[in-house]
Structures are given as structure tokens and as C-alpha cells.
Amino acid sequence: MTILQTLPALELLFFNLASIDLCCHRKYSRWKTALILAVFSVALLAFCLAFAEDISFRADGRMSLFGLIYMIPLHYLYRDKFPILFTVTCTCWVYTLGILALSFQFSLIWMSGSLTGILLAENLLYLVTFLPFYRLVIPKYIFVVEHIGRFEKNWHKYIFLNTCLNFLTLVVLVNVFLSQDPSPVNILALLLLLSTFYVSNFILHKVVQDAIRLGQIEREVTHDPLTGLCNRAGLWDRLNTLLEGNKTFSVLFMDLDRFKSVNDQYDHLVGDAYLKHFADVSSGILAEQGTVYRFGGDEFVAIYYGAVPENVLGELRECRPWADGAPCPFYQVSVGSIICRPPHADNVETLLHKVDQMMYEQKINKHQKGGN
């Protein structure tokens, strides 16, 4: 193997590393990263040339597997997590090895397999395909890898395994094409293989994109846009689930005292801030032991997992006052609570009606005593 014979492989390596650099996040400057990769590539090339008799690029394809060795420097040169980095690397190798295989086939058919023909075909193919590959294929694959774990953890592992299998399969097939006699059938088969790979990426991207949109729609339906808390629809679903189970839980109905006067004396922007403050404080009080829902207006409902302690109820009633410079004072909160022990006989409507009545009674008692 001579230096001249390595030019197609060097061009493949250049486009592969350039694609990775464009798609990943460097830890160091571009020049420092390029220098380290160049030194690594020279050392690897020297090793390959030293063992040219045992490692032939066109014979059995073992040389192309050296691409996996690049994961070592890439892991230390880029900030991306290993699954993302590996996925991008494999996808880039699929692209560049596919271009090289097509270049060999075209050159053998029309230019007698000359080195000039291989380089000419390779450069023309890169000129036509590199920009679409970088702008259309890689971003979609990165999008899939970054977001698919939000829906199903096993999917993330599946993508990782699928990437490995695609890479190893293509390495084998590409090197079969590199060693076979040229024929239009081989070119057609290789194009079909590459098309299947890219079409599957586009389909997977579409599936994940639709799942994200569905999740956003579901969040809009089940969450209050002002406070970020789950709304009445989310509360209904959660209570139905708990009532079908056999665990003890508590339901708290909370009403902000004198909230109407806040809107009347100040303005609705202050009223919105008032609601968000209570949502944050009450969620912090319950922490991991419960969940707060916005029921509507100035009414909130909380689910506490277990029998709610009296000190928690006291903290919710008093609430934490605003910091200095608050636009208005923060008044007390009327809280009604009920403990639900299995077996659960009430439905959601009955349960909420009972706890609402308990809250209302407390509000009347405070009013009669001259409270807020």
C-alpha cells in the first residue's frame, strides 16, 4: 500500500471527522481539536502502512474497522454524551463508507478502477451529497437520540444498539461491494441499502416529533399555564387512580383568603403573582409527599400521600409571606382536609364536595372570629 493509494481513505476520513465536528460540541478550540485528530490520524495511518500486507482496504475490510478506534480521541475532545457521540460517528461512517463503495463501483465500471477515477467519483459524490447529509440527516438523528429517552427508556438503548448494528452491517456490506466485481446490480443494491438506512431515520424522526407534539398538547390540557401546576383534569385522573387503589391518602382543599381584594386594590398582574407565589410555596411545603393542583380561580387542591400531619396543614394556612418589597401583603389560606383510607367508597365528585365543605366551614369560623 502506497501513500497515493490511501487518498480515497484519507478523503473519507476528512469528511467523516468534518461531519462529526459540525454536529457535536467541542471541548477545545477548532484548531486544537483538528491538531489532535491530525496527529492521531498520522499515527494510525503509519500503523496501517507498516502492516499493509496484512491489512488491505479492499480485501476483507478490516482497515475500515479502524474507524471505531476514533471513539477514543473523540470521547475526550467533545462534550456530548457517549451514546450521542457514538450515534453521530456511526451515522457519518455509514455516509462516508457508502460514498467510497459507490466510488469504487463507478470507477470499476466506467474508468477501469483507476485511482483517478475513484477520486473523481468520490469528489463528485461528496459535492452533491455532503450538504444535504449535514443539513437533513444528521440533525434528525441527533434529535431522535436526544428526545426519545423522554418517552421510553428502553428506546434509548434500542437506538444505541440499532446504530451499532447498522454500522457493523454496513461495514460488512460495503467491503463486499469493494471486493466484488463491478455491476449495475451491486450499485443498485448499495443505493437501496443506503436509502433504507436514511428513510428509517426520517421515519423514526417523524415518530419522535409527533410524540413530542402529543406530549405538549397533553400538557396544555392537563396543566395550568399561569402556575405550571396540574389543573382540574390532571387532578381528576390522579384521584380516580388513587380511589381504585388500596393506599391511604389525604385530600386538601385550599382557598386564598381575601384574594378578590388583592385584584381590586392592586391589579390582576399582582393577583397573578400572588397565585404563582402560593403555588410555589405550597408545592415546596408538600415536597415529595404530595402534589398541588390548581382547581380554578383562587382555589387549589392538594393530594398528600398518607395521613397529612397537622404541622403541614398549619404551614399551608399561614403560608410563607412574600419577601421584602412585595407588591401587597399575603393573607392566610383556608384549608379543608380529609383522610381517605381503603376501601375507598367515594367517587371523585363526592370526595371533592366533602373536602370543599370542610374548607368552607373553616372559612366561616375564621370570619366569625374576626380573622382574615
| 3-class DSSP state of 9 | helix
pLDDT at 361: 87
The pLDDT score that the predictor gives to residue 151 is 59
Q: Are 251 and 355 in contact (CB under 8 A)?
A: yes
Strand-pairing partners, residue 296, are 299
What is the C-alpha to C-alpha distance for residues 102 and 174, in angstroms, rounded to an integer? 9
Length of the chain: 372
Which pTM does this prediction carry? 0.56
Rounded CA separation 347/114 (Å) = 80
Q: What is the mean pLDDT of the chain?
A: 79
Per-residue 3-state assignment (H helix, E strand, C coil) for 60-86: CCHHHHHHHHHHHHHHHHECCCHHHHH
Our measurement of the distance from residue 6's CA atom to the centroid of its chain's CA atoms, rounded to an integer in Å, reads: 39
Instruction: Give me the residues of the chain with pLDDT under 70, please.
Output: 1-6, 49, 51-67, 112-113, 145-146, 148-182, 215-218, 320-326, 368-372
Residue ranges and CATH numbers for the domains of the chain are 4-221 (no CATH), 232-368 (3.30.70.270)
User: What is the model's pLDDT at position 363?
Assistant: 82
> What pLDDT, on the 0 to 100 scale, is given for residue 42?
85
Contact 351/303 with Cβ under 8 angstroms?
no
Q: What pLDDT sits at residue 370?
A: 60
The whole-number pLDDT of residue 150 equals 62
| Segment 190-209, tens digit of pLDDT | 777 777 777 777 777 777 77
Helix axes 82-110, 115-132, angle to 10 degrees: 140
Bridge partners of 293?
Answer: 230, 301
pLDDT at res. 294: 93
The dihedrals phi and psi of 340, each to the nearest 5 degrees, come to -110, 115
pLDDT of 63:
52
